[in-house]
Structure 1
Amino acid sequence: MINITGSNAQQINQLPLTELQRSIVRQKERSPEMYRYPSLQALQFELVLRSNIVQAAKDLNDSGASFAVFKKSRCNERLWSRTEAGGFKLRPGVLPSDGIRDIYENGELYAFECATAIVILLYKAMLETLGESNFNRHFRDLLLFDWTYDNDLRLITLYSYVEAYPGDILYFENPDHDDDRPEWQGENVIKLANDLYYGHGVGIKSAAGMIEALNRTRNPGSTKSAFLSDLVNHPDFGYLMTLPSRSRESVLAERAEPPVVARIGTAVYVYRNHKMRKQDRMLL
């Protein structure tokens, strides 16, 4: 169900949405979960960012960028410098927007693993959603390495793939992967549509296709299949919507306040600036 402060279903239907965005709205309206938004604009921002994530995933699949483990990663050295660990550090003087777009325009020069791919396409989606000026203001000094990402690219973690929507990040786990190929312990993917996913190095496949691909990388004689885990991550849409109206300095000032950290079971909660937020490190 969807609840928007001061709005009704008829106003939602009048929004200029694409078919993908309308399908997300229909899925949320049918859900037993309550999705609350402070305004129509907040819902529309989420839908635009979700659709941009889906498009960024499809475009990365078509970019020519290759899959590689960290020790064999490569990048366009004109815009990025490769770190000893296999990450990519944006060179001084290069605009973040230019660095991200180059991966899509000159993909054959790049090779990286699936976690880095997810971060790259999230940056690309944020660039298309916020525009160059806002993106460059808030996402400076980029380092592309594993799940390293700018603090402004906030992610929220849930544990129910049943409530996953296009644009969400999911994880196919491969518990009995070949010991000599740890890079295939699982596959980070973007949900593109109902039973359609993109994973860097595997491509665009159904859930069965993802599982079949991972099962080919198991230990010899293994009978333990890969599977879609409950882990679901998506951007903090409410926070990201505020970035265009906030200065970089105000964001940095907020970060300067010491947080209060509490651990409950395996979950970590951070209380900062009078707000509680759950933190989880995603699987590799």
Structure 2
Amino acid sequence: MIIVAGMNIEIPPFQLSSKQAEIFHFLKNSSEVHRYVHSRELLFELILRENMINSAIEMNESEVEFSIFHTSKFNSMYWLKTSRGYILKPNVLPSDAIKDIFHNGKEYGFECTTAIVVIFYYAVLQSIEERAFNRLFNHLLVWDWSYDEDLGIITRVGSDFIPGDVMYFYNPDYDNPVWIGENVVFLGEGKYFGHGIGIGTAEETIKALNTLRKEGATRSAHLIHQHSRLNYKYLSQFSTQI
């Protein structure tokens, strides 16, 4: 259900792209109540969710490799490797460093959780004013679930998934610990993107993870009931698109 300024919204109050319309449909039919002070907040969430989906597709089409931390790599023009992850070099704009991951993918290698955080940043960068992005995220540290508090990732239990959400396929009988599971972006239309596996349905993602189980494994990989989302209402104040 969508509530804007106390009123139930059944029809979008603005023109939407086909993907935004799909997201609106999911929000409208959700068992959760999605509340907005103004329709601009709703539009911003639709824009940012669409940018999440497009960023995941762009990551899939990039030349970024799948890699554990020991063999990982980031472009040394922008990033410095530390024991905790990769930090921005002095005098580097966060926007330039995040863009480079997608534009110069062959210089990068990381695992699926880092890919998700990078996708979050890239989607936000495309959704808010660039100066605001550089002000909010001027001390970037990237690896695993390390992220700036202004990104506002919220993880909750539940199975009411909306396109643009991040979800998790758990692989209990993994062989290599790197394949204990796969963080994915829900793209809508029954498709998911996971770095190292690619784009596919839930069944295809589970099938891929099941090939990475230990010998004699009896438990299948499966989707768990949780989702991660950005703090859309907080980030909407920095948008210049609405």
TM-score normalised by the chain length of structure 1? 0.81
Q: Runs in 1 of length 4+ with deviation above 3 angstroms?
A: 6-10
Identity level (%) = 43
Distance 1:98 1:231 in 2: 32
Q: Which has the larger radius of gyration?
A: 1
Distance 1:176 1:40 in 2: 46
User: For 1:173-215, what per-residue CA distance to the aligned partner results, in whole angstroms no more than 9, with x for missing partners?
Assistant: 001111xx10000000000013200001111111011101110
Counterpart for residue 117 of structure 1: 115
The amino acid of 2:165's aligned partner reads D
State how far apart, in whole Å, the 2-side matches of 1:63 and 1:152 are: 26
The 8 Å contact of residues 169 and 189 in structure 1, kept in 2 or not, is answered as yes
Q: SS in structure 2 opposite 1:13?
A: coil
Could you tell me which residue of structure 1 aligns to residue 101 of structure 2?
103
Task: Give 1:234's aligned residue.
Answer: 229
Alignment partner, residue 164 of structure 1:
161
SS in 1 for 2:73: coil
2:180 pairs with one of 175, 178, 185: 185
**Equivalences for 1:32-181 in 2 at 5 Å?**
32-85=31-84, 87-161=85-159, 163-178=160-175, 181=176
C-alpha root-mean-square deviation of aligned residues, in Å?
Answer: 1.6
Q: How many Å separate the matches in 1 of 2:148 and 2:58?
A: 22
Report the CA distance shift for 1:238/1:166 in structure 2 as closer, same or farther (over 3 A): same
Question: Aligned partners of 1:20 and 1:211: how far apart in 2?
Answer: 25
* DSSP 3-state at the match of 1:191: strand
Distance 1:169 1:123 in 2: 13
Ranges in structure 2 where 5+ consecutive residues have no aligned partner: none
Tell me which residue corresponds to 1:271.
none
Q: 1:8 to 1:186 in 2, by over 3 A?
A: closer
TM-score (norm 2): 0.94
**1 or 2 for the larger relative contact order (CA 8 Å, sep ≥6)?**
2
